[in-house]
Structure 1
Amino acid sequence: MGMMTAEEKKYKKWIITLSIIIPLVVAMLFGVNLRKLGYDVEPLTFLPPIYATINGITAVLLMVAVSAVKRGNRKLHENLIKVCMGCSVAFLLMYVAYHMTSESTPYGGEGTLRYLYFIVLISHILLSIIVIPFVLFTFVRGIAGAYERHKKLARITYPMWLYVAVTGVVVYLMISPYYN
């Protein structure tokens, strides 16, 4: 494995900081319900299908981005990855906004489906946390021109990120019949 570029070194502290702060802030905000705190806010119940769609778009764009780079189109690859990162941020903001204004929906399925739902949900949540530094380090390696190291890390990052995007849609589809 080659040496870290100056650009990678410059961003390393930011990546580590963000990789810790994002999950902590999301976890803290997840526990804050503005309506229960007495704020007169409208529940944002329209958001789940939107952020599930954004997850689906992210999954498709990730596949197109990988296809683009395999065809030698680095610029398209880079632009699509930037859009995927933007989609992930948009998802996160909407997810937090929904949970800060709405009651959590309990899963109503039973038996094997219930176990499957929780396996998918828990793996989705855990990987969504783990993937953050992978995405950021992979991205920085790409923009820093450390293509071999980028490619090596992307082989790990891509399936994780794709899994998180796809399972985000699956979780939504499984719980959507139980929304009020």
Structure 2
Amino acid sequence: MQAKETSHLKNEGKVKGWIIAISVLIPVVVAILIFMPAKLDLGVEWVYFLPHLNAVINSAATLALIAGLVFIKNGKIAYHRASMTVAFGLGAIFLVSYVIYHAAAESTSFGGEGFVRSVYFAVLFSHIVLAAVALLPILFAYYYGLTDQREKHRKIVKFAYPIWLYVTVTGVIVYLMISPYYVH
């Protein structure tokens, strides 16, 4: 057992470096793709289906996150791990889909007016900010869970889990609010 722990500690510095690098790089790349003046011409129309797919992925990730919480509260660690791995995998698929869409398609403008417009932008702003910062604690929580560092896992999950759940739920809310304004 001690050799396993030493191996984790020996590699943990490298893993933490990668987690930090990925957590900085991904939001920067996403911001560049969203704000770049010219979109990539992928020559395909299917990219306009991706926001709909992303809403389904976010909904499924929300369900996996809730299931993971229920399982861990009931002491079912193997089911908890499976649920959180599903949520993590869905998050990765979502990220790829999101990047493809924003690299190829112009952003859709929200057409609502009045109070609903204020609500939309408040939800969108909080969603974007928390999505940008969520990756770091999520990656650490997942790593600590995989390596069975339960105390570290518990400490970071207190922050990572509610942020992650909020981001998945508000992602669906933002989609539902803007979907009437999609051109394709």
TM over 0.5: yes
Deviation at 1:102, TM superposition (A): 2.0
Q: Deviations over 1:100-155 (max 9, x none)?
A: 22222100000111011011111101101111010011111112222122112111
Q: Deviations over 1:37-81 (max 9, x none)?
A: xx6343611111110111011111101001111111111111211
Larger RCO: Structure 1 or Structure 2 (Cα < 8 Å, ≥ 6 residues apart)? 1
Distance 1:93 1:113 in 2: 30
Q: What amino acid maps onto 1:25 in structure 2?
A: V
Q: Is the 8 A contact 1:55 1:166 kept in 2?
A: yes
Paired position in structure 1 for 2:13: 9
Paired position in structure 2 for 1:145: 148
Q: How does 1:23-172 map to 2 (within 5 A)?
A: 23-30=27-34, 31=36, 32-35=38-41, 40-42=43-45, 44-172=47-175
Give unmatched runs, 5+ long, in structure 2.
1-7
Q: Relative to 1, partners in 2 of residues 1:69 and 1:8: Cα closer, same or farther, differing over 3 Å? A: farther
Which is further off, 113-122 or 20-29? Answer: 20-29
Paired position in structure 2 for 1:22: 26
Distance 2:44 2:52 in 1: 20
Distance 1:57 1:67 in 2: 15
Q: Is the 8 A contact 1:55 1:165 kept in 2?
A: yes
Deviation at 1:161, TM superposition (A): 0.2
Q: Structure 2 length normalisation: TM-score? A: 0.88
- Report which of the two has the higher share of helix: 2
Moved over 4 A (4+): none
Deviation at 1:163, TM superposition (A): 0.2
Give unmatched runs, 5+ long, in structure 1.
none
Q: Structure 1 length normalisation: TM-score? A: 0.90
Which is further off, 80-89 or 25-34? Answer: 25-34
Percent identity of paired positions between Structure 1 and Structure 2: 43
Q: What amino acid maps onto 1:34 in structure 2?
A: L
Q: Is the 8 A contact 1:43 1:101 kept in 2?
A: no
